Structure 1
Amino acid sequence: MSWDVLLLRLPDDVTSLEEIPSGHTPAPLGRRHEVLAAVTEAVPEVDLSDPAWGELHGPTWSIELNIGSGDPVDSIMLHIRGSGDDALTPALRIAASLRCGAIDCAEGSLLAPGRTSGWHAFQEFRDRVTGP
């Protein structure tokens, strides 16, 4: 079970999903080699030995990066597992390096520094469903 965050190109002035114009079609994140380079620059410890499915591990969390095999890359889905708010730091670093938005798929909101409610709600739900 993972908490999913979608990295997607959004208009620059958008601060919430409600502000996305109707009919907006996101531009690609970039050419595949540029996206992989940006991810590696943002989080040098990322394992991209399978460039379609990157992996990143922290002390109490892991992130799978579903980059896919398309070129250009339209979006990246982050599958975040574990605990600790420090899991949000690399997710936001990757989003910043790609100049894109990070959408909390559980809450339907934009992820930003200090906005941890979706991550905490996911952990509470996961722990309730799976047990201690």
Structure 2
Amino acid sequence: MSWDVVLLNLPDDISSAQDVPDDYTPRALGPLHEVLAAVSRAEPSADLSDPTWGDLTGPTWSIELNIGSDDPVDSIMLHVRGSGDDVLPSVFRLAGAFDCKVLDCSSGELITPEGPSGWHAFQEFRDRMFGPSEQG
């Protein structure tokens, strides 16, 4: 079970998925080779040996980066597992590499480094359903 967030370009006045116009098409994050280079700069320990499906591991968490094979890359889905708030800076470093927003797929809300995050709610739900998480 993972907490899923997506990195994508959205207008500045958007705060949730409900605010996105039906006809809106996000600007691409960039060509695949540039996206991979940006991920590597933002998180040098990311394993991109499979360029469509990267992996990033921290002390108590892991992130699978679903980059896909489309070129250009429209968005990156992050599947976050484990525990601990030290995963959030990695999420926002990746978003910062593309100057894009982070959409929490479970709530439909955008998250920011300053604001509340669905990460805590996800961990509480997961632990209630399946017991406390082990390391990523």
Q: TM-score range by the shorter chain?
A: over 0.9
- Counterpart CA distance in 1 for 2:73 and 2:40 is 15
1:42-121 superposed matches below 5 A: 42-121=42-121
| CA distance in structure 2 between the aligned counterparts of 1:116 and 1:56, rounded to whole angstroms | 23
Aligned residues: 131
Letter in 2 for 1:3: W
CA shift, 1:25, in A, is 1.0
Partner in structure 1 of residue 27 of structure 2: 27
Give TM-score, length-normalised by structure 1.
Answer: 0.93
My pick for the range that moved more, 73-82 or 105-114, is: 105-114
1:126 maps onto 2:102 in alignment: no
Q: Secondary structure at the match of 2:119?
A: helix
Q: Which amino acid aligns with 1:14?
A: D
| Contact residue 66 and residue 76 of structure 2 kept, 8 A | yes
Instruction: Provide, for residues 21-69 of structure 1, a one-character-per-residue CA deviation record: whole Å limited to 9, x for no partner.
Output: 4521111111000100111111111000000010000001000000001
Secondary structure in 2 aligned to 1:63? strand
Shift of 1:19: 4.5
Percent identity among equivalent residues?
63
For the 8 Å contact 1:48–1:54, the answer to whether it is kept is yes
Where does the alignment leave 5 or more consecutive residues of structure 1 unmatched?
none
